[in-house]
Structure 1
Amino acid sequence: MSEANLLTDDGEAESDELLESRRRLGIKLKLARQTKGLTLKELAKRSQCSESLLSKAENGRALPSLPLIHRLVRVLETNISWLFEEGEPDDSPVFRAGTRPIVTLDDRPGDWAGISFERIIPYKGGHLLQSNIHHIAIGAKSGAAISHEGEETGYILRGQIDLILDGVVYSLKEGDSFCFRSHIPHSYRNTGVEPASILWTCTPPTF
């Protein structure tokens, strides 16, 4: 799988929303890199990608793949949701129904389309846990398997999904739960006839 989706010469046909999403992501990547005091070359080496790709991403000309974003946030000691969220997290310990931030990756062509994350614990530095409700449209899937440090657990709130762990497929339905070490390559897909939702918690925070 390609490490990025690149804008083509007919990029003007893309929506303003998609272009703005790329621009915001690039600004945050550059800010995180500069905050860590890293050059493009240093970050590229540590995240195992090309310097030219990082430059394109920072300038809104490329959208890194999810596996690459995972490597970048590990090096930059930040979080995927911080890269995609538009606002700052609320300081309140209580998050009311209908007010929780929702992160959507629908603007990623081919990857994660139809999937959004409802933040149970809005990202903020210092949290040891991260918890989201993954809302998954019919037929949507999480793209290429990813792996990282940590541990994850989840509970199927509604619908039916396949959870794929190191190539082994587990069919899960409403009321089922799971737990696994995050170094195991993992992905999922909605195999049901209705949208699915998963309460998903992991430590340390990665999304």
Structure 2
Amino acid sequence: MKIKKIVGKKLKAIRLKSDMTIQELAESSRVSSNMISRIERGLTIPSVEILMKLANVFGKSINYFVEEVSTTHEIVHTAPGGRDTTVYEDERNMLTESFTSGLRDPQFMSFLCTIPKGGMSGEENMYHPGDELIYLLDGQLKVTIGRETYLLNAGDSLTFKSHLPHRWVNVGEDDARVIWTLSPFTTI
């Protein structure tokens, strides 16, 4: 089943189980009702930020929306080219490869992200429960956390509490390749 359909089906099911209308979910999550409708119909893949907002309303991790129970395991090995990938065609314009996709009830999420020159998290800050680790493999990434700005170069890492307002942008001339780890949102 395609990721768009999985996310949409699970979002609609948990919304109905919670006896919520699309409008009520929009108000609780601060995600537009139009976007929620498009996600539920499998017409779009939400950004990580939007998925986190929706997941938080239901006390779930974003993994809840993207994994099929029958495909989870206690040990997952993937070779290069075999990881689940997602392309975000918003201001991020980035490609993510999940290291934890398929792991049963993970307590963290980890991705290899490829962010093109100028790719960014958006003009607005993000914030959510948990901790984040950013390890820059290649390129340059400017990360702003609160009032502090950090310029990361290849080999640099940054760890912070995710409830702090944060945003990022690739300020380098080339793609930035980043290992991004988030832990935990909420145990499923």
Which TM-score bucket, shorter chain as reference?
0.7 to 0.9
2:55 maps to 1:73: yes
2:9 maps to 1:27: yes
- Cα distance in 1 between the residues matched to 2:86 and 2:134: 18
Per-residue CA distance 1:125-175 (angstroms, 9 max, x = gap): 521111111111112112132101111112111111101112432111001
Q: State the Cα RMSD in Å.
A: 3.3
Query: Does the C-alpha gap of structure 1 residues 123 and 186 become closer, same or farther in structure 2, counting only changes over 3 Å?
Result: farther
2:18 maps to 1:37: yes
Instruction: Report the residue type matching 1:195 in the other structure.
Output: D
Query: Could you tell me which residue of structure 1 aligns to residue 77 of structure 2?
Result: 94
Query: Could you tell me which residue of structure 1 aligns to residue 143 of structure 2?
Result: 163
| Count of residue correspondences | 182
Query: Could you tell me which residue of structure 2 aligns to residue 116 of structure 1?
Result: 95
Which residue, 162, 167, 174 being the options, matches 1:182? 162
* TM-score normalized with structure 2 length: 0.77
Shift of 1:59: 4.2
* TM-score normalized with structure 1 length: 0.70
Query: Could you tell me which residue of structure 2 aligns to residue 150 of structure 1?
Result: 130
| Contact 1:127–1:205 (8 Å) recurs in 2 | no
Shift of 1:28: 3.6
- Cα distance in 2 between the residues matched to 1:203 and 1:29: 22
Where structure 1 has 5 or more consecutive residues not aligned to the other structure, the ranges are 1-19
- Cα distance in 2 between the residues matched to 1:69 and 1:93: 23
Higher mean displacement: 74-83 or 132-141: 74-83
| Contact 2:112–2:180 (8 Å) recurs in 1 | yes
- Cα distance in 2 between the residues matched to 1:201 and 1:68: 17
Query: Does the C-alpha gap of structure 1 residues 127 and 90 become closer, same or farther in structure 2, counting only changes over 3 Å?
Result: closer
Partner of 1:141: helix, strand, or coil?
A: coil
Instruction: Report the residue type matching 1:58 in the other structure.
Output: E
- Cα distance in 2 between the residues matched to 1:175 and 1:64: 30
| Contact 2:143–2:167 (8 Å) recurs in 1 | yes
Query: Could you tell me which residue of structure 2 aligns to residue 17 of structure 1?
Result: none
| Contact 1:119–1:133 (8 Å) recurs in 2 | yes
Shift of 1:62: 8.0
- Cα distance in 2 between the residues matched to 1:205 and 1:26: 20
Query: Does the C-alpha gap of structure 1 residues 136 and 87 become closer, same or farther in structure 2, counting only changes over 3 Å?
Result: farther
Higher mean displacement: 184-193 or 45-54: 45-54
- Cα distance in 2 between the residues matched to 1:123 and 1:173: 31
- Cα distance in 2 between the residues matched to 1:75 and 1:85: 18
- Cα distance in 2 between the residues matched to 1:26 and 1:49: 14
Q: Percent identity?
A: 29
Shift of 1:202: 1.6
